Amino acid sequence: QLTGAVTDTVGTSRYPADSFHYVAKDSLVTAELQEGDIAWLVLSHLRQDGAMLRQDHGLVVGHLGISLVEDDQVYLAHAASSPLEGHYAEAGLVKVPLLPYLDAVGKFAGVIVTRI
pLDDT of 1 > 90? The answer is: no
Strands 108-114 and 38-43: antiparallel
- What's phi and psi for 75, nearest 5 deg? -110, 160
Q: Quick check: 31 pLDDT over 90?
A: yes
Least confident residue range of 27-31, 42-46, 81-85: 81-85
53: enclosing H helix or E strand: helix 48-57
Task: Report the predicted TM-score, pTM, of the whole model to 2 decimal places.
Answer: 0.93
Mean pLDDT score across all residues of the chain: 95
pLDDT tens across 63-106, in order? Answer: 999 999 999 999 999 999 999 999 999 999 999 999 999 999 98
